[in-house]
Amino acid sequence: MNKIVDIGEYHKNVCLEFILIKCLEINKTKDNDAVSTWLVGDESGTIELGLWNTVLNAGDVICLNGGYTSLFQGRKRLFVSKSGTISRVRTFRKIFKVNEEHMEFMSSDSHAY
């Protein structure tokens, strides 16, 4: 199992357990697919996660197998590969550390999970 701090910009076969901290945005494609961007974290740091047509909630603890990272708009972002899986392990509290580059997403109405 990887830790967020250890994942590079173009890393393949990522296996992580993390908590969904905050949904940053949801967009619809022309085919009406929902594309969401989440701020996720573990005890080592935070990263953005891009998901297609997946309904999850802040506070969900997720297990990702077969993910990959890429740069998107200048930031490292985590994705689920075509052969990858993502599953809700539980809804729980998990300690996480917010990286400096993601502090802007943490508004006064945000809650730690």
pLDDT above 60 (res 109): no
What integer pLDDT is reported at residue 94 of this predicted model? 61
Share of the chain above pLDDT 70, in %: 91
pLDDT above 90 (res 5): yes
Concatenated DSSP letters of 64-87: EEEEEEEEETTEEEEEEEEEEEEE
**pTM recorded for the entire structure:** 0.78
- How is the chain split into domains, by residue range? 4-99
Arithmetic mean of pLDDT, 27-31:
95
Calculate the average pLDDT of the chain.
Answer: 90
What integer pLDDT is reported at residue 112 of this predicted model? 47
Cα separation, 35 vs 5, whole angstroms? 25
pLDDT above 60 (res 98): yes
Q: How far is CA 63 from CA 15, 18, 41, 86, in A?
A: 7, 7, 12, 6
pLDDT above 60 (res 110): no
Cα separation, 35 vs 14, whole angstroms? 20
Q: Using CA atoms in the order 98, 100, 104, 110, what is the torsion angle rounded to 10 degrees?
A: 20
Cα separation, 21 vs 112, whole angstroms? 7
Q: CATH homologous superfamily for 4-99?
A: Nucleic acid-binding proteins (2.40.50.140)
What integer pLDDT is reported at residue 36 of this predicted model? 96
SS3 state of residue 113: coil
